Amino acid sequence: MTGSWLCRDDIDRERLLDMEERIRPVRRLAMGVLALALLVSSPWLGLWTLIPLVGASGFFVLADSRLAQSERPEYLMFGAWVGSEVMIAVAVALSGGPDVATLSWIAIPVVTLSARFSLRGVIAGVGIAIGLLVAVAFASGAQQVLDNPTVLISPLSLIVAVAILSTALMRSDVQHRGEAVIDPLTGMLNRKALSNRVEELVQQSRITGDPVGIILGDLDRFKRVNDSQGHAAGDAALTDVAYTLRKHLRAFDLAYRVGGEEFLVLLPDTVSEEACEVIERLRAATPHGLTCSAGLACWDFLEDVEDLIGRADEALYLAKAAGRNQLAEAPQDPNPY
């Protein structure tokens, strides 16, 4: 698994998905406020200005419906963001461009950029917003802009200022939250991050019916590494194993360190056969001559996640009891609820 220009790694992707869950209801409220403003202003602006706003909301609805299945969810979200920004710009153009105060609305989506994307994504988004601002201003009233450049300078400076302030605030928030959910040694997500994610997956599975797999893996006889080579060598091995996990997983799979040398992998929208292929690929790539035992549990229906993790743990125990360096799979629950 590799990063992209919008997300550096799977941790950034996890943050993007988490922030999308948090932003979604607020975004709907904000869109409602803009729609109400256009509705109240319809005697002067016309009702057709509402149509692009509906389109802006539609981009995010479409992106949200495909996030879990996407290998690069950041591209979906950035595409939805650009689409919504374009639709807002169209609504502004229809309402009169530089002649009305709605020109500053183009700055509103910029607030959410730093909550989702890397600095390069923020810069790209700001560039797009400024480009749309200039295009709308000159297309709707070039002469007004030339006669009074402040109608363009004011919203332009607002876009830049909003981007700077929101980025600084978000970087501070990410740092503090990262210390709470990221394992400091391996850079992997920890148990707290896992508890946040599994609830989201349960809710998603209830709506979509998509299967989910859980792999619980443990490095075999890892204590020997610490005892024979020292804890520094053991820490280096764990760091390399974490890197290998991230490199060989799909973008929407998430790996967590849940114990000393124990890892858990969440596999959204994955059936048993696919999950077996994933774990065998991971076991074959385990570095430092280490071997890995793994337990697998999948569900195709709604059930308690803690129970599923427990079944994966039981399967891991069976794999170790059978001689280690192998995969054991928990049977499907015959009594789904």
Residue 328: φ, ψ to 5°: -120, 140
In the residue annotation, 199 being an active-site residue is answered as no
Relative to beta strand 212-219, strand 262-268 is antiparallel
Q: Which residues contact 191 (CB under 8 A, 6 or more apart)?
A: 256, 258
CA dist 89 to 54, 103, 149, 238, Å?
Answer: 13, 8, 19, 49
Residue 251: φ, ψ to 5°: -60, -30
User: What is the C-alpha separation between 159 and 253, in angstroms, rounded?
Assistant: 35
The residue from 261, 274, 277, 303 that is catalytic is 261
The SS3 call for residue 262 is strand
User: What is the C-alpha separation between 168 and 321, in angstroms, rounded?
Assistant: 51
User: What is the C-alpha separation between 113 and 81, in angstroms, rounded?
Assistant: 8
Count the alpha carbons within 13 Å of 289 in the hemisphere toward its beta carbon.
Answer: 4
Element (H, E) at 192: helix 191-208
C-beta neighbour count of 204 within 10 angstroms: 16
Catalytic residues: 261
